[in-house]
Each structure stands twice: as structure tokens, then as C-alpha cells.
Structure 1
Amino acid sequence: MRAGIVGLPNVGKSTLFNALTSSKAAQSANYPFCTIEPNEGVVSVPDGRLERISRYIVPKKLVPAALRLLDIAGIVKGASEGEGLGNKFLSHIREVEAILQVVRCFEDPDVVHVAGVVDPMSDVETVEIELMLADLQTLENALPKAERTAKSGDKEAKLRVEAIKKSLEHLGKDQPLRTLTLDPPEAEAISSFGLMTAKPILYVANVDENDLHGEGPLAQKVRARAKEIGAGVVAVCAKLEAEIAELDEADRLEMLHSSGLDEPALAVLAREAYRILGLQSYFTAGEKEVRAWTIPIGATAPQGAGVIHTDFEKGFIRAEVYTLDDLETYKSEKEIRAAGKLRVEGKAYVMQDGDICHFLFN
């Protein structure tokens, strides 16, 4: 699963990306359009359950879940019409499953805002409008072909025409497609278009070092917008997080505590991004490794096994499942089994967040 980091130029996207991925690469110059091709990195999703499991099943290594992040170039007004190479930039957003929009919530005379003034709501609306306009173009271009195919009696094409028309009507009301509910077959019929406003969104309020919890007036505007549309929001000081990411573990903890933080804000961001993607983790635990595996919420046991290896899904027989609470109560898998707490689940079992599993397959 991949999430794209977007926003206007000079809002702190690349600083945030480098901090998230612990990139030591040189920072880009303070100019719009300095990033043309998106950088891609992998970020671990912090999960304290890994360490708790390892207290009882001691492994050689811990392997957390991971997300792929794309640092996408700054979007400006007119991007949907190709302004500032906008069409090329927007095409990268079609390739991700979720959008992390960085919104500038700090004042700094040394960092020029592309619009000349720091206004979080204006920034949010600029990006939203450009994505809606781009989706309008995509759907308007796709409709004639879908209508021609539908005339031949093609059922899928008829479904696609209906879904396109509903989506165009919704966008015509200045509403992003993530607020439109389509029937699953309709949503599937237009899924290949990569419609950007249909993707879940998380606002990242890039705050000043004096407002680490995002309680200032600029960040509060972003929170209000997120609440209004049912989006997520996380306050992050990208500048501070980039500094923390450069330190070794001991110095990192000291700097966090001196800043009044329990953990890096980036840990909260990674977990929230994971959540808006509709993902959860289950675990496998043994002497070799304790590992978090990423699955969609609602995945069945065979589908869960399939993320380890496709053969596990094809030849799935059953899953042996227990919980972290069981492990902390009985101290070992052997005692969990002896107490009758090891559950045997079949193909219809829906995986739960935090399950610890063994899969048996043919």
C-alpha cells in the first residue's frame, strides 16, 4: 500500500518525507517545482505490541509493518490545466491509495509561501479544487467511450456510464468523490481511473516548534476542516522531526522528553496513515522473528496467509490463533495450548487486528 505526500510548494513536504524515511539526502532548494519525479521511501509503522510479544517469544529480530510513501511535487493553482507541469505531478497521485496533504501552519519569513501569505484553508482548497478539476477531466474524457460501448449491450459499460454520471454530478456540486457512496459494482467499474478525490485523505498540519500539539489558530482551522469532511488530521513539526530523525536513539529520547513529547509525532502520523488506508496488522511469532503483517480490515484467514506467500492462501487448511492478552496471561504458546485458548479457525474466519497466528497449508 502506498500513500502520497502532497501539498503546495514550500509547505514542508520533502522535510517531512526525509524525516519519516530517515533520509539523509540533501534538502531541496527553497523553490517551487524543485521535485519533479516523486521520491519513494518505506516507513515503519510503530507498534508496541511487537516488543510485548518478544518478551515471551524471544526472536532474533522484530519486523514492523511498513508503508510506502511518495513525496509528490508541489501542486499550484492551475495544476489540472498543466500549470507548473501539474498534469505530470497529478498523475503520480493516481498511483497511490491514500493522500497525506501537508498544510503549512507556521510563519517563517525565510520560507516563501507560493501565494505570499500563510492561509491553511486557502491551501487546502487549492489542492482540493485542482484534484476535483482533474477528476472532472478524466470522467468527461471517459464518458463518450463508455457510452459507445454501452450501446452494444455491454453490462459492465452500462454500469460504468451510470457511475461516471453520478460522479460527474457529485463533482459538479463541488464535492470530492470520497463523500459519494457508490454501490460496490459501480465503484469497481471506475476504479481503474485512479480518481484522486475518491482516495482517503489525512491532513498533516505542519506546525511551529512553539505549537507542537497543533493547538494554535492556524492548526485549529485544519482540524475544523477535517472534522467537517470526516478526514483525519495530525499535527507535526517537520523541522523538529527532521532534527530528531538524525539523532541516535538515546539522544532522540532526550530531545523528545525535553520537547514534551512521548514519541515522535511521525509515529502518530504513520499509524494514522495506516488507519485511513483501512489496514490492520496480525503477527507471526517464532525464534527467527516476530513480525507484523499488513492486511485490509475484513480480510479472511486465507487472505491473511496469502500476504506471507500466495501458496499459503491457495493451500490454506486452517489457522491457529491466539491473542496478546493470552500470551501475557499464560507466558508461552505451550501454556496457551494447554489452557485450551489456542483457537482453530477455518477459511471463513475474519482476521482481527492483533491476532497472533500459525497457518497450516497443503
Structure 2
Amino acid sequence: MIPFVNCGIVGLPNVGKSTIFSALTAVPAETTNYPFCTINPNVGMVQVPDIRLDRIHQIVAADRMVPAFTEFVDIAGLVRGASKGEGLGNQFLSYIRNVGIIAHVVRCFKDDNVVHVSGGVDPKSDIETINTELALADLQSVEKRLEKNARLVKTMNIRVRDEAIAMQNLLKKIALRLGDGKSVRSMKLDADDIVRLKDLFLITAKKQIYICNVGENDVEGKTDWVYPVCAIAESEGSEVVILCGKLESEIAALKNAKERSAFISELGLSESGLSQLIRSAYLTLDLCTFFTLSRKENRAWTFPRGATALQCAGLVHSDFERGFIKANVYHCDDLFDFGNEAALKSAGRIRTEGRKYTVRDGDIIRFRFNVSGGSNRIGNSRTT
């Protein structure tokens, strides 16, 4: 399991990727009015906004509060022909293979001072260009694997040969799909097929979120440029986030959370683009959060829905997983209702769970573990 979300920001040049990256991460990125300004990817770690952790910290004091994190990677703009190396495309595509989810920024604003690589704003065409290049890049990987796998089909080892045949049939089916410019994620693959493809790191197998970068006056509603993006996203089962990169930069420049909250309210919004994007990423990847409490720190941890207590213990520390004994668990909603841990304990709301317990979003967990040569210890949580 990964300890944080890894999100790659992609799109055509001059759609506002680097502006959005700088606003979301508060990490300066090169933003100039010409293609390929960003050569090497910019990387920034962002705190995951979670009001539950704030409330927990108010009730159960600790020296510090540590939120979960999302990593954003600003990848240089792709152009038509990127899969063949145009505009350093091969280099940029290799960066995308290493991210966990793709945030595809689409330009939905007009600005004569910011040139468009294709000459005019056309979200549908822009999306088709990027998606086609990603599909063609994957097709090259699949074709190489087909050639390599063909030799295994002729082996005398029955087990190896049967697996190679299954792989060959799968690769041929995927190659046809990619050749039509379609993504692997849009295919209905079973669990075995997903495992077979894992080491290919196919870009179009990754989940994708579309970010509509709109003008300052369009953040509250959809425009003629946003509608086609939403239609494409709906056909793919993808999430859409509508934000204005310029306004997000102004929000990020404000000194404190109170000022940012006030400015967001003035815009008629309930949350920032950062919050929307992270929430969409968590939803798309089916990720959840559990919490650990101690006198030193109250901390949020990201985990995939369906993970067990043993797997979540490993996120905190390998010793917790290796020497796992049990977990004392209660939900943050119970803490909010009862007001403190002592009341929870008196009411019998703190449960003892084993390693196979399926952790829920919002659980607060105290791990008990025992490593070789040591005694039972309480893991990263105060005694209740």
C-alpha cells in the first residue's frame, strides 16, 4: 500500500498546469508563455484538508498534528506526436508512467495574451490529442511485450506456455483497443488480467480526473467549453473538477486559513480547487483515512478501502505489522458525540479487533504489537 496519493498533472502546453500546480502546492513552478517551459517535472507535497483531524486535535491534545499528504507532479505539456518523441514527448511520457492517478488539465478559458498551441480553445480536440498520444505510447509498450511474449508461447514448460498464451490473447485485445485511441481503463478486465499487466505500467490503465481551468467569472457554473469535458468524463466514468488557476493562485497567496476561507466564500464557493481535486482523487482511487493519536502527534493516514488492521499497521511502521497483536478501535464520530476518550471507554465504545478487521474511513486506531526480544507495546497511540 502507498502512504500517500501520487497525482500527475498533464495536458497540452499553456493550459495552466504549472499555474495550478504552484497554487495547489505553494511550490513555485516555471510559468511562461511558450511551450515546453517545464522540462523536468516539478514535485510538491500537499496537506490533505480534513476537518475531522482538526476536530480530533481539539479534543485530544498532542504536541503536533500531522495530516495525510498528496504528491502532485507537474509534467511538461504534451503535443500531437508526443508518442513519437515530438516535443521531448518520450521523456515526458515516462514521467506519467510513475504516477498513481492522472489529473488532465483542459483549457476552458480565452486569453489572447496566452497562446494556445493549436491556435484556439477547443477542449474536445485538446482531450482527444492527449488521450490519443497516451494510447499510442501504451501501444508501443504492448507491441514490444507481444514480441517478447511470443517466444514464451513456444516453450516446453506447460505452465509457462499456458500463461504466455493467456497473456498473448490479452495483449492482442488491448492492442486493438489502443490502436483505436481508446484507454485500457475503459476495458472490463478481470483480476488476473490486471495482475498480468501490472509490470507494463500502462498510462491509460491509470484512473484519470479532468480539471477544467476556467476564467475568473466562470467558477460558479458550466460554460460552453466545460460541457464537452463533462460529457467525455461521463462516458469514461471519470471525475471533473472545475477551477480557475488564477483565482487558486490568489487563494494560495493569502496569509492564513481564515483569510482563505473568507475569500472562497466571497467567490460563492464552498471549498478551494485543492480540496475538490484531492476529494476527487480519493473518490476515484477509493481511498480512505484512519487516525492514530499519541501525546507526541495526532496523525492521519491514507489507505485503500477494504484494507485490514494488519495492513494499516504496516503503513504506520513495519514493526507494527510484524509484531501485530491486536488493535483498539473506535470511530471519530463517536469521539465527537461523546466528547472525550474516557467517556467512550466507559460506554464500551472502544473495541478490540484482530488483524483481519476491515478498517473503516474515520477509524481511530491504537495498535498493540510485540517484536522479538521486547514486551507488548502500544503503537503510536495514547493509552485509553
TM-score range, shorter-chain basis?
over 0.9
1:258 and 1:180 map into 2 onto residues whose CA distance is 43
Matched, 1:72 2:75: yes
Aligned to 1:337: 345
Tell me, what secondary structure is at the counterpart of 2:225? helix
Q: What's the offset of the Cα at 1:214? A: 4.1
Compute the displacement of 1:130 (Å).
0.4
Q: Say if 2:136 and 2:179, in contact at 8 Å, map to a contact too.
A: no
Is the 8 Å Cα contact of residues 205 and 214 (structure 1) preserved in structure 2? no
- Correspondence for 2:367: 359
* Contact 1:159–1:189 (Cα < 8 Å) also in 2: no
Equivalence map 1:233-248=2 (5 Å): 233-248=240-255
Distance 1:311 1:160 in 2: 38
SS in 1 for 2:145: helix
Equivalent position of 1:18 in the other structure = 22
Structure 1 residue 210: deviation in Å? Answer: 0.3
1:137 maps to 2:140:
yes
Pairing 1:1-362 to 2, within 5 Å after superposition: 1-23=5-27, 25=28, 27-152=30-155, 153=157, 154=160, 155-249=162-256, 250-362=258-370
8 A contact 2:11–2:130 mirrored in 1: yes
Kept in 2, the 8 Å contact 1:202–1:231? The answer is yes
**Structure 1 equivalent of residue 377 of structure 2:** none
Pairwise CA RMSD of aligned residues?
1.5
**CA–CA distance in 2 between the matches of 1:246 and 1:6?**
23
Give, as a single letter, the amino acid of the residue that structure 2 aligns with 1:133: L
- The whole-number CA distance in structure 2 between the counterparts of 1:200 and 1:213 is 26
Greater shift in the superposed pair: 274-283 or 4-13? 274-283
- Give the Cα–Cα distance (whole angstroms) in 2 for the partners of residues 341 and 184 of structure 1: 37
> One-letter code of the match for 1:298?
G
Q: CA deviation at 1:319?
A: 1.1
SS of equivalent to 1:175: coil
Q: Distance in 2 between matches of 1:183 and 1:277?
A: 17
SS at match of 1:115: coil
Instruction: Write the letter of the residue equivalent to 2:246.
Output: K
Distance in structure 1 (CA, Å) of the matches to 2:29 and 2:177: 43
How far is the alpha carbon of 1:216 from its aligned partner? 1.4
Q: Post-superposition shift, 1:156? A: 4.3
In the alignment, the residues of structure 1 paired with residue 191 and residue 15 of structure 2 have an alpha-carbon distance, to the nearest angstrom, of 36
Q: Deviation of residue 26 (structure 1)?
A: 5.9
Give 3-state SS (helix, strand or coil) of 2:361's partner.
Answer: coil
Deviations 1:172-224 (A, max 9, x none): 44421001122222211221111011100000000111011341111122112
What is the deviation of 1:160? 2.7
Range with bigger deviation, 32-41 or 245-254:
245-254
How high is the TM-score relative to the length of structure 2?
0.90
Q: Does the 8 Å contact 1:2/1:98 carry over to 2? A: yes
CA drift at 1:316: 1.1
Unmatched 5+ stretches in structure 2: 371-384
2 CA distance for matches of 1:30 and 1:10?
A: 7
Query: Match of 2:380?
Result: none
Partners of 1:214 and 1:116 lie apart in 2 by 25
C-alpha deviations, 1:218-244, integer Å up to 9, x for none?
112211211111000000101110111
Q: Check the 8 A contact 1:132/1:176 in 2, yes or no.
A: yes
| The 10-residue stretch of structure 1 (281-290 or 3-12) with the greater mean CA deviation from structure 2 | 281-290
Identity %: 49
Q: 1:259 to 1:214 in 2, by over 3 A?
A: same
Q: TM-score, normalised by structure 1?
A: 0.96
Aligned residues: 361
Amino acid at match of 2:25: T
Find the aligned partners of 1:165 and 1:230 in 2 and give their Cα distance.
24
Contact 1:156 1:189 in 2 (8 A): no
Deviates more, 1:162-171 or 1:79-88: 162-171
Structure 1 range deviating more: 90-99 or 172-181: 172-181
Q: Distance in 2 between matches of 1:82 and 1:340?
A: 63
- Secondary structure of 1:360's match? strand
What amino acid is the match of 2:19? T
Distance 1:26 1:196 in 2: 24
Question: Partner letter of residue 50 of structure 2?
Answer: D
